[in-house]
Amino acid sequence: MSGEGERVILSPAEKERRILEMYLAGHSYKEICEALRVSPKTIVKVLRRASEDEAEAEDRIEEKIESHLGERLEEIKGVLGKHSEDIEKLFEKWDRVCLRLAEFERCVHSPGRLLERVKDLEERVERLEKTCQRIRSDLDWLAKRLKEVMNILERIYGGVYFI
């Protein structure tokens, strides 16, 4: 086992990993230099390289995302192209449905007009019934008068008369 005075030799990759771990854990440059026996310039180089690697990784991820989105967009365009007639027919049907709905709404929103028309017809029927009653009454009166005239003619002509 190694004592306190012994140095542990780390590979360059292991040193970089440890520098990044200590930096991310919040250690100062001085603490990192003392613990890993590296210079501040080494710390700066490792952090810069890590930052550049991170930026490159982000760029690669963005490129992959853009590529994937481009492929998906082309797929969507293809599907839309195949179904453009169907979509157009749906829009035409939608327009017809909207027209029918507007007609229905006009009917629903004008029940007052329909009620006015029904009341008007009811009043006309009532007037016709009254007129019919007057005509019946007048016909009854005429029938009585005609009977009286016939009685008079019978008395005058003795039952022989021409109408």
Give me the pLDDT at residue 50, please: 85
pLDDT at 31 over 90: yes
The pLDDT-based confidence of 39 (bands split at 50, 70, 90) is very high
Give me the pLDDT at residue 107, please: 64
pLDDT tens-digit profile of 41-84?
A: 999 999 998 888 888 888 888 888 888 777 887 777 777 677 77
pLDDT at 3 over 60: no
pLDDT at 1 over 50: no
Give the mean model confidence (pLDDT) for residues 16-43.
92
pLDDT tens-digit profile of 127-140?
A: 888 888 888 888 88
Straight-line distance from the first to the last Cα atom of the chain, in angstroms, rounded to the nearest whole number: 156
DSSP secondary structure, the chain, as one string: ---SSPPPP--HHHHHHHHHHHHHTT--HHHHHHHHT--HHHHHHHHHHHHHHHHHHHHHHHHHHHHHHHHHHHHHHHHHHHTHHHHHHHHHHHHHHHHHHHHHHHHHT-HHHHHHHHHHHHHHHHHHHHHHHHHHHHHHHHHHHHHHHHHHHHHHHTT----
The pLDDT-based confidence of 149 (bands split at 50, 70, 90) is confident
Give me the pLDDT at residue 148, please: 85
Question: Looking at per-residue confidence, does 141 or 87 come out higher?
Answer: 141
Q: What percent of the chain has pLDDT over 70?
A: 85
Give me the pLDDT at residue 40, please: 93
Q: How far is it, in rounded angstroms, from Cα 86 to Cα 90? A: 6
Give me the pLDDT at residue 159, please: 61
